[in-house]
Structure 1
Amino acid sequence: MLTLIKQAECYSPKRLGKQDVLIAGTKIIAIEADINLDTNVACEVIDGSDLIVAPGFVDSLVHISGGGGEAGFASRTPEMNLTDATIAGITTVVGALGTDDVSRTHSDLIAKAKGLKQEGLNAFCHTGSYHLPAKTLGESISHDIMYVDEVIGLGEVAISDHRGRQITAQQLAEVAAESRTAGLLSGKRGTVSIHVGSGKAHVNLLHDVANNTDVPLSQFYPTHMNRNAELLTAGIEFCRAGGTIDFTTSTTEYDLANGELAAAEALAYCLDKGVNVAQLTMSSDGHASLPIYNEQNELVGFEVGTELSLLSSFQQAVKQFNVPIEKALSAITINPARILGLNKGELKQNRDADVVLLRQSDLTVHSVWCNGKKMIEDSQIVANGFFNSAN
């Protein structure tokens, strides 16, 4: 079947104005001002006059197989379901292990990514975890990146965090160089995802590596950079030195009340300070454990991240903080895709048909296609995962 979206406000994520978008099979085959078809082939025509058509969202950090729980074994978080992503407009996820790389394994992580792909989602993952030496599926970081299709990089390696291994610049440089080289050999980016905690060193370790070795700053992709104002300031300096930073959309009321900035606010603040939007992204940290620590690093609360927070933060950026739609979209589509080396996040002829329709009135999700397969229609789930039923 062909699908023709007529006269929607089109963002590629660059604003293109009113356009028609034609989907055939798994691809976008045309984006034009006016498409008229003369064919006997079945074609669904969608009136997009009150809608925005945009790339499916790229969520660059999701704990797709569940995360460890800092409140003990009973607090290990559940795995993500297909519809957790699709109802939020997400068509591409990148999974990772975090604090727990003992009860959570790469075998399970990669199997989950393969399962999500079987259900129709674009799913990738990182090898490694918070800790170094890096745990891997195969014999090395290089092996995983080069021989496992779903593995695109390393991470999320923890710095400035009491739960990390307190690694040195030399240790980080070595694994970053290995990830980079493996990426070059396999046509991948080999990005190193960096979990940044609330420690006072911020991202100094990344600067040390870039200043004293041949590993460029652009090899690192630090996330959680909206933890507090001081870290955000360090993040702006990181961008000015040539890096890119990511803001986490899942949060807690406690953290917001104790210095964390909402991802949408952090995005708007950086843009106001002159940071190039291409250096800024947002990710959900979906299904991660969100432990709440006091100043003595004592656990005082616990919540779980949600993929839906990515959509909510996009809406908040536009409606509350006046970020232009194309810039807010760039932060959750083409920017993370480019940083991770994925051919995703852009509406373009002959690209994969990862498409989201948003209502112009309130930016809620109307419909979602992933590789041409309709996942959401008129805000209702039409494609379910193997174990989750329609809701």
Structure 2
Amino acid sequence: MSQITLIKNAHVFAPRDFGICDVLVAGDRIAKIDHNLALPENIGQVVDADGAWLLPGLVDSLVHISGGGGEGGFASRTPELDPREAFASGVTTVIGVLGTDATTRTLNELYGKARALDAQGLSCYMHSGSYQFPVNTLTGSVRTDIMLVDNIIGVGELAISDHRSSHPSTAELLRVASDARVAGLLSGKSGVISIHVGGCDGRLQPLFDAVSNSDIPISQFYPTHINRNENLLQHGVEFAQAGGFIDFTTSTTPEILASGELRASRALRVALESGAPEDRLTFSSDAQGSMTNFCDNGTLQDIEVGSVGSLFDEFRRAVQAEGVDFVRALQAVTSNPARVLGLRRKGGIGEGLDADLSLVDPESFTIRHVMAKGRWQYFDSQLQFRGAFA
């Protein structure tokens, strides 16, 4: 029997402000949004939100779900994502990627972890490839990976303007983008190219060069870490104004901030004030990835681990500390990433969309309940999730 839940008296942000509504969930989908909804006696569960904010589950477009790191040697390899951390942070959809290490971290391993997370209630997709060019694949080509492997939606994170990059040429970037784009068109997926942008002087110029030398739309490239420094942020604003999406990383450290990085929340405010379109800006956590701080000569100074919880923290900081409009900030962690990733049933609250929801206390701006795929995974600030071994 399908699970039925009625959430009453919720202040719904879909992310557009719907005001106080009732939301009916049947199985893993949202069945109805209206006023004065009711269930027959002894049918389903009724939860009174009492005016709490009902938000879409957060969409995290870049997570090293199988672990990452390693720039400080084998002892600095970072751990896998625990789904409980995601649920407690309101994150219900993640995109798994490889990073610097595609030798001891493999796509086979990434695929297995993605399938495990999905079975545990967290919607999990993945990208083919890594920092490196030529692109590592599961099936032998980018095109067949995207077309034939259900949960592969794009390529990434391919690195540019970074000393750890393979420094792909314009022609090489275009070849990958063309394969991913065609595969996306044929399979109904985004075929997006997630681009890791380092701190080198080239910034986003390799992407501008690729677009100017082809008919590939700028939106096919999805650069991240655009809050790395102010110069890169301004280049990112130009990229967004030209029709691209740009992504700000929410995980950081005091040392990285001292080196010139802007918090994602601050970068969002600056980008909006600089004229970047509000529907082209996103946040991602880079969770389980290594937060590295290199000297000017490329020597590693320190390394820490990214946190999936930083996504909600920076959304809240954008509203409370930076004065960003609530809906604009919410779009950056819900509907905007869902749109660039081609996840049509994610990132919103509407009839027929996936029942991925968070109830947030409006006074404390803290998460009360989290529903993923129609099931409460976090309720009354307590984890409901139970894995195979815990």
- TM-score range for the pair, normalised by the shorter chain length: over 0.9
1:133-157 CA distance string (max 9 Å, x none): 0011111111111111110000100
Amino acid across the alignment from 1:205: P
Alignment of 1:311-326 (within 5 A): 311-326=312-327
Task: Confirm whether residue 150 of structure 1 aligns to residue 117 of structure 2.
Answer: no
**Equivalence for 1:299:** 300
Task: Confirm whether residue 227 of structure 1 aligns to residue 241 of structure 2.
Answer: no
CA distance, structure 1, for counterparts of residue 93 and residue 267 of structure 2 = 23
Q: CA RMSD in A?
A: 1.0
Does structure 2 retain, via aligned residues, the 8 Å contact 1:82–1:384?
A: no
CA distance, structure 2, for counterparts of residue 321 and residue 255 of structure 1 = 20
Amino acid across the alignment from 1:146: M
CA distance, structure 1, for counterparts of residue 76 and residue 82 of structure 2 = 18
SS, match of residue 7 in structure 2: strand
CA distance, structure 2, for counterparts of residue 191 and residue 166 of structure 1 = 19
Does structure 1 retain, via aligned residues, the 8 Å contact 2:20–2:51?
A: no
Amino acid across the alignment from 2:62: L
Does structure 1 retain, via aligned residues, the 8 Å contact 2:147–2:184?
A: yes
Amino acid across the alignment from 2:335: I
**Equivalence for 1:347:** 349
Amino acid across the alignment from 1:104: R
Stretches of structure 1 that go unaligned for 5 or more consecutive residues are none
1:258-291 CA distance string (max 9 Å, x none): 1100000001111122221100000000000111
1:207-230 CA distance string (max 9 Å, x none): 001101111111000000000000
Deviation at 1:362, TM superposition (A): 2.2
SS, match of residue 233 in structure 1: helix
CA distance, structure 1, for counterparts of residue 309 and residue 383 of structure 2 = 14
SS, match of residue 72 in structure 2: coil
Of the structure 1 ranges 21-30 and 204-213, higher mean CA displacement relative to structure 2 is found in 21-30
SS, match of residue 189 in structure 1: coil
1:321-344 CA distance string (max 9 Å, x none): 111221111101110011010121
Of the structure 1 ranges 255-264 and 44-53, higher mean CA displacement relative to structure 2 is found in 44-53
Amino acid across the alignment from 2:36: D
CA distance, structure 2, for counterparts of residue 313 and residue 376 of structure 1 = 20
Does structure 2 retain, via aligned residues, the 8 Å contact 1:68–1:104?
A: no
Does structure 1 retain, via aligned residues, the 8 Å contact 2:6–2:38?
A: no
**Equivalence for 1:74:** 75
**Equivalence for 1:129:** 130
**Equivalence for 2:331:** 330
SS, match of residue 316 in structure 1: helix
CA distance, structure 1, for counterparts of residue 218 and residue 282 of structure 2 = 16
SS, match of residue 89 in structure 2: coil
Deviation at 1:240, TM superposition (A): 1.3
**Equivalence for 1:361:** 363
**Equivalence for 2:142:** 141
CA distance, structure 2, for counterparts of residue 78 and residue 295 of structure 1 = 28
CA distance, structure 2, for counterparts of residue 385 and residue 287 of structure 1 = 19
Does structure 2 retain, via aligned residues, the 8 Å contact 1:93–1:123?
A: yes
**Equivalence for 2:311:** 310
SS, match of residue 97 in structure 1: coil
CA distance, structure 2, for counterparts of residue 47 and residue 239 of structure 1 = 40
**Equivalence for 2:28:** 26
1:5 to 1, 4, 7: 7
SS, match of residue 235 in structure 2: helix
**Equivalence for 2:379:** 377
Deviation at 1:81, TM superposition (A): 1.1
CA distance, structure 2, for counterparts of residue 129 and residue 16 of structure 1 = 40
Deviation at 1:6, TM superposition (A): 1.3
Q: How does the TM-score come out when normalised to structure 2?
A: 0.97
Aligned-residue identity in percent: 47
Alignment of 1:156-167 (within 5 A): 156-167=157-168
Stretches of structure 2 that go unaligned for 5 or more consecutive residues are none
CA distance, structure 2, for counterparts of residue 129 and residue 2 of structure 1 = 40
CA distance, structure 2, for counterparts of residue 321 and residue 283 of structure 1 = 18
Amino acid across the alignment from 2:129: G
CA distance, structure 1, for counterparts of residue 241 and residue 353 of structure 2 = 32
Amino acid across the alignment from 1:60: S
SS, match of residue 213 in structure 1: coil
1:175-206 CA distance string (max 9 Å, x none): 01001011111111100000000011100000
**Equivalence for 2:241:** 240
CA distance, structure 2, for counterparts of residue 345 and residue 176 of structure 1 = 25
Deviation at 1:41, TM superposition (A): 4.3
**Equivalence for 1:257:** 258
